[in-house]
């Protein structure tokens, strides 16, 4: 029996030496027995840890709103392995030596069904106290928590079961279980095997735990599940003996060792395991990351520092010197001055701290303090860089090509190779130029994956200008494999699955704007197969929806979709017909929709008007633009229009050059007969797109200035918040220019600062250039 703690470099080295001395003819490793069929893949050179066994229920995923769908349709569990995991070393030893290797935990088919608490048949048990929503904690009953922290008044028996290493650490005089385990196991190199002592300690602790499940403080379903797992381990061991194996090595969590060795009748174990509910499961290997091995990711059996543990396993000789040298190299890459003398002093400091603290080897705490004090001159930011790049050390494993995959996974892997988009656990930015075929294909793939909710790429703000540029941030996470398995219900290829998913999203959309968003995403993803069905749904919804607000919300996305068709080469003919109908209906319905609005409703409608105005400018259709301007001109002259809307429409028509009497309109709006609050709303709407109009038009500026100066004290206090909100949106340069203009409004014309005189000779080259740009032919002299 070899009782280990998951993911420990010292445990892994000690286990490897122990197996080489013991020379077993069979190795049983804690894990789901369904993985026996694919364990041989661990010997493939292309299998590079960190990797994980993935068990999943391959049923049809439930559609949104399907309350009757079984929760198992989207359930999955992971069993992660790193290079420094003892279980991984046990598997690799067995495969290298030609020794039989089997997994000996409760089958994944049973573990995917949650345990049932006593007295409530058919209801899932509550999660264990330290578990998270992720199913990746399956099989990690020996997970340890923080030492010395009370667990809500737990008894000694409860605390032992929840935190066995914490009790051992306190008995040894440590306040930190992690530090104690590192000192006695992970930092050891050579010496006698630690496994007999670990087994003896766990046996003593288990003797102190009460036999009654209710005394553990854990949900009764969890206590029963732990008993089932240990019964499965004993049954697998009996089967190995029956198969004729003589020297059997059992590698499991240290907490389970006494239970596996216990003299429990086979009939009792059979009774414990009889009739357990099962889920139909499939098993495969998937890449994993160091970040997902860390405790901070929520992984129940995670470690604080996967990168540090990987370093201890890979560099048992002078690990402190090698670590600090690597840290110095990392800091130099970031432009920080770190010399060899810094490294020497940092090593000395780390070793001195370890000696003062009576540790056999400088641990992560000591090397981190030495890094901060010597290499980083006390600065925290470089230390955080070292922590992120080295202590966690994000690394993505890989699996062989012949690993079992669903067709959708294999199709994605093939496209990643073709498009030269290798997945990586480190976030990186990808700039795409959609005029290039390769980048356009990459964009299509990333947009299709977002439709499948596989967010490998997230859109970022593009550094360049123009609709032909896209920027994505790529970061691969292990759970994407589960999401791909779930998405395989929609199809066997990325294109087919995303098209089917888009059709379902359009059919389930709750509003017209949601349907138009699906249309836009289809065009971005080049899903020509889905567009006819989605367009039919869009046309039906648009014909039946009479709410002008819904129509205005839908229009911008459709116009953007038309523009994308120009850049991406995607056919958008049917979309133009829908846009034509929407524009006409918006223009007809806007006037009645603007009656009797309060402040909030007027502000909402103002936002929709602005978005529609921008969309029609982007569409650049003369007939639609003329119809829109006519509608705005009709609306701005209606009695009872809210001041915010009237001011904004006046500004839009002024910018379009079709409203000549703007000074007169502003004079009426801010006259003494107008209510101050309505006048302030009018000014806010008029200036909502910037204040340059006041910089260049003295008449309008004088009207605003005279109105503000003439407000009574009480009215000024009332309108001040509105004015502050309007002017706060101006750029700093605009505010300075307006202030300068106001400062000189009362000056006589002769006293005002004149603009610099224009020198015709110096201006001639610029004038000629502008004329050439604007020319359409003929003589420009």
pLDDT-derived band at 1 (thresholds 50, 70, 90) equals very high
Write out the DSSP string of 65-78.
T-TTS-GGGG-EEE
Q: What angle do CA 565, 569, 573 make, to 5 degrees?
A: 50
Largest Cα–Cα separation, the chain: 112
pLDDT-derived band at 341 (thresholds 50, 70, 90) equals very high
Residue 451: inside a domain: yes
| 176 in the same domain as 133 | yes
Q: 761: which residues sit within 8 A by CB, 6+ positions away? A: none
How does strand 51-56 pair with strand 282-287?
Answer: antiparallel
| 355 in the same domain as 253 | no
Are 531 and 519 in contact, with CB atoms under 8 Å apart?
Answer: yes
Are 119 and 44 in contact, with CB atoms under 8 Å apart?
Answer: no
Is residue 505 over pLDDT 70?
Answer: yes
Are 52 and 82 in contact, with CB atoms under 8 Å apart?
Answer: no
Most confident of the ranges 153-157, 270-274, 359-363: 270-274
Are 221 and 117 in contact, with CB atoms under 8 Å apart?
Answer: yes
Instruction: Give the pLDDT of residue 571.
Output: 54
d(CA 538, CA 553): 13
Closest by Cα among 213, 234, 231 to 222: 213
How does strand 469-474 pair with strand 428-433?
Answer: antiparallel
| 365 in the same domain as 224 | no
d(CA 715, CA 720): 8
Alpha-carbon distance values, 424 to 280, 395, 400, 475, 696 (Å):
31, 8, 16, 6, 53
Instruction: Give the pLDDT of residue 133.
Output: 34
What's this model's pTM, rounded to 2 decimal places?
Answer: 0.66
* Torsion angle (degrees, nearest 10) of CA 367, 369, 370, 376: 120
For 211-240, the pLDDT digits (tens) are 444 444 444 556 788 889 999 999 999 999
Q: Domain ends where: 358, 392, 426?
A: 392
d(CA 351, CA 365): 11
10 Å CB burial of residue 667 (0-12, 13-18, 19+) is middle
| 480 in the same domain as 383 | no
Q: 684: which residues sit within 8 A by CB, 6+ positions away? A: 644, 647, 722, 723, 725, 726
Are 285 and 36 in contact, with CB atoms under 8 Å apart?
Answer: no
Alpha-carbon distance values, 666 to 653, 699, 724, 742 (Å):
13, 10, 19, 17
Instruction: Give the pLDDT of residue 434.
Output: 85
| 128 in the same domain as 269 | yes
51 phi/psi in degrees, rounded to 5: -135, 175
212 forms beta bridges with: none
Q: 55: which residues sit within 8 A by CB, 6+ positions away? A: 32, 34, 76, 77, 79, 108, 111, 112, 281, 282, 283
pLDDT-derived band at 302 (thresholds 50, 70, 90) equals low
> Which of 155-164, 336-345, 763-772 comes out lowest in average pLDDT?
155-164
Closest by Cα among 301, 315, 308 to 255: 301
Number of structural domains found in the chain: 3
* Torsion angle (degrees, nearest 10) of CA 50, 56, 61, 64: -60
pLDDT-derived band at 134 (thresholds 50, 70, 90) equals very low
Residue 144: inside a domain: yes
For 510-544, the pLDDT digits (tens) are 788 888 888 888 888 888 888 788 878 877 877 77
| 290 in the same domain as 361 | no
Residue 654: inside a domain: no
Q: Where are the beta strands (DSSP E) in 352-439?
A: 428-433
| 383 in the same domain as 437 | no
| 426 in the same domain as 366 | no
Structural domain that includes position 458 = 407-490
Residue 368: inside a domain: yes
Instruction: Give the pLDDT of residue 102.
Output: 95
d(CA 287, CA 400): 10
> Which of 123-127, 315-319, 665-669 comes out lowest in average pLDDT?
123-127
Q: 627: which residues sit within 8 A by CB, 6+ positions away? A: 583, 584, 587
Residue 635: inside a domain: no
| 270 in the same domain as 331 | no
Q: Where are the beta strands (DSSP E) in 35-98?
A: 51-56, 76-81
Instruction: Give the pLDDT of residue 107.
Output: 93
Is residue 761 over pLDDT 60?
Answer: yes
Instruction: Give the pLDDT of residue 152.
Output: 42
Residue 230: inside a domain: yes
Query: Any idea what DSSP says for residue 396?
Result: B
Q: Domain ends where: 469, 490, 511?
A: 490
Q: Domain ends where: 490, 509, 542?
A: 490
Instruction: Give the pLDDT of residue 757.
Output: 63
Instruction: Give the pLDDT of residue 469.
Output: 83
Is residue 143 over pLDDT 50?
Answer: no
For 20-75, the pLDDT digits (tens) are 999 999 999 999 999 999 999 999 999 999 999 988 876 544 444 443 333 334 46
Is residue 498 over pLDDT 60?
Answer: yes
Q: What kind and span of H or E run contains 250?
A: strand 248-253
User: Average pLDDT for residues 77-99, to the nearest whole number?
Assistant: 93
d(CA 660, CA 384): 61
Q: 468: which residues sit within 8 A by CB, 6+ positions away? A: 433, 434, 435, 567
| More confident site: 349 or 565 | 349
Angle between helices 319-333 and 340-356 (to 10 degrees): 140
pLDDT-derived band at 245 (thresholds 50, 70, 90) equals very high
pLDDT-derived band at 463 (thresholds 50, 70, 90) equals low
| 419 in the same domain as 280 | no
How does strand 248-253 pair with strand 2-4?
Answer: parallel
For 61-75, the pLDDT digits (tens) are 444 444 333 333 446
| 447 in the same domain as 323 | no
d(CA 503, CA 499): 6
Residue 618: inside a domain: no
| 322 in the same domain as 289 | no
CA 178 to chain centre: 29
Alpha-carbon distance values, 85 to 4, 14, 185, 186, 424 (Å):
9, 11, 13, 11, 22
Residue 61: inside a domain: yes
Instruction: Give the pLDDT of residue 707.
Output: 72
289: left (phi over 0), alpha (psi -120 to 50) or beta: beta
For 381-427, the pLDDT digits (tens) are 999 999 888 888 778 888 998 888 888 888 999 999 999 999 988 88
Q: 461: which residues sit within 8 A by CB, 6+ positions away? A: 471
Mean pLDDT score of the chain: 79
Instruction: Give the pLDDT of residue 474.
Output: 93
Residue 449 CA neighbour count, 13 Å, CB half: 28
Coil, strand, or helix at residue 294?
strand
Are 695 and 738 in contact, with CB atoms under 8 Å apart?
Answer: yes
């Amino acid at each position: 029996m070899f009782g280990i703690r998951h993911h420990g470099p010292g445990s892994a080295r000690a286990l490897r030496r122990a197996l080489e001395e013991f020379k077993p003819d069979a190795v049983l490793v804690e894990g789901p027995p369904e993985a026996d069929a694919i364990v041989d893949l661990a010997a493939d050179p292309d299998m590079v840890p960190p990797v994980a066994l993935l068990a999943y229920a391959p049923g049809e995923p439930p559609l949104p709103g399907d309350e009757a769908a079984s929760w198992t349709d989207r359930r999955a569990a992971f069993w992660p392995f790193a290079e420094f995991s003892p279980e991984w070393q046990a598997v690799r030893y067995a495969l290298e030596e030609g020794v039989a290797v089997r997994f000996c935990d409760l089958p994944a088919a049973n573990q995917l069904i949650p345990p049932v608490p006593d007295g409530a048949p058919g209801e899932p048990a509550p999660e264990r106290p330290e578990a998270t929503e992720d199913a990746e904690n399956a099989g990690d009953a020996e997970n340890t928590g923080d030492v010395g922290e009370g667990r809500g008044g737990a008894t000694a028996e409860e605390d032992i079961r929840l935190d066995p290493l914490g009790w051992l650490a306190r008995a040894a005089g440590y306040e930190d279980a992690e530090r104690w385990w590192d000192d006695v196991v992970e930092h050891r190199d050579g010496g006698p095997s630690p496994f007999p002592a670990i087994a003896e300690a766990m046996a003593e602790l288990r003797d102190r735990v009460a036999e009654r499940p209710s005394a553990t403080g854990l949900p009764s379903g969890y206590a029963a599940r732990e008993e089932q797992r240990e019964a499965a381990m004993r049954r697998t061991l009996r089967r190995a003996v029956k198969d004729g194996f003589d020297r059997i090595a059992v590698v499991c969590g240290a907490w389970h060792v006494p239970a596996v060795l216990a003299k429990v009748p086979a009939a009792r174990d059979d009774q414990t395991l009889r009739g357990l509910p099962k889920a139909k499961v499939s098993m495969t290997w998937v890449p994993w990351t160091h970040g997902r091995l860390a405790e901070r990711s929520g992984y129940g059996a995670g470690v604080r520092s996967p990168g540090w543990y990987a370093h201890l396993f890979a560099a048992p000789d002078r690990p402190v010197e090698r670590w600090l040298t690597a840290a110095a190299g990392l800091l130099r890459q970031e432009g920080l001055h770190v010399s060899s003398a810094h490294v020497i002093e940092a090593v000395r400091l780390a070793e001195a701290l370890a000696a003062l603290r009576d540790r056999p080897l400088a641990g992560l705490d000591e090397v981190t303090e030495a890094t901060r004090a010597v290499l980083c001159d006390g600065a925290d930011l470089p230390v955080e860089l070292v922590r992120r790049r080295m202590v966690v050390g994000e690394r993505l494993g890989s699996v062989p090509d012949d690993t079992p995959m669903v067709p959708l996974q294999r199709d994605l892997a093939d496209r990643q190779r073709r498009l030269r988009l290798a997945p990586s656990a480190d976030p990186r930015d990808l700039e795409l130029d959609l005029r290039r075929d390769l980048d356009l294909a990459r964009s299509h793939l990333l947009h299709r994956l977002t439709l499948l909710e596989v967010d490998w790429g997230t859109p970022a703000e593009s550094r360049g200008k123009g609709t032909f540029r896209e920027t994505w941030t790529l970061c691969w996470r292990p759970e994407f494999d589960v999401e791909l398995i779930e998405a395989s219900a929609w199809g066997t290829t990325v294109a087919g699955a995303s098209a089917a998913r888009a059709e379902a999203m359009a059919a389930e959309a709750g509003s017209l704007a949601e349907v138009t968003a699906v249309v836009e995403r289809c065009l971005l993803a080049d899903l020509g197969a889905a567009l006819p069905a989605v367009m039919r749904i869009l046309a039906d919804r648009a014909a039946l929806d009479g709410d002008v607000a819904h129509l205005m919300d839908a229009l911008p996305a459709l116009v953007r979709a038309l523009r994308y068709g120009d850049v991406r080469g995607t056919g958008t003919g049917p979309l133009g017909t829908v846009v034509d109908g929407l524009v006409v209906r918006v223009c007809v319905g806007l006037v009645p929709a603007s009656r009797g609005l309060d402040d909030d409703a007027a502000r909402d409608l103002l936002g929709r008007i602005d978005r529609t105005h921008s969309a029609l400018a982007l569409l650049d259709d003369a007939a639609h633009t003329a119809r829109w301007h006519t509608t705005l001109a009709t609306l701005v002259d209606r009695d009872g229009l809210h001041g915010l809307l009237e001011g904004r429409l006046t500004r839009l028509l002024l910018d379009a050059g079709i409203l000549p009497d703007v000074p007169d309109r502003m004079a009426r709006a801010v006259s003494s007969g107008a209510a101050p609050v309505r006048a302030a709303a009018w000014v806010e709407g008029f200036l909502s797109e910037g204040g340059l109009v006041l910089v260049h038009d003295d008449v309008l500026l004088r009207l605003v200035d005279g109105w503000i100066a003439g407000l009574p004290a009480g009215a000024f206090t009332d309108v001040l918040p509105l004015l502050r909100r309007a002017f706060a949106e101006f750029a700093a340069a605009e505010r300075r220019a307006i202030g300068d203009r106001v400062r000189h409004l009362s000056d006589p014309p002769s006293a005002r600062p004149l603009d610099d005189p224009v020198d015709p000779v110096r201006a001639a080259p610029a004038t000629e250039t502008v004329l050439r740009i604007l020319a359409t032919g003929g003589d420009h002299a």
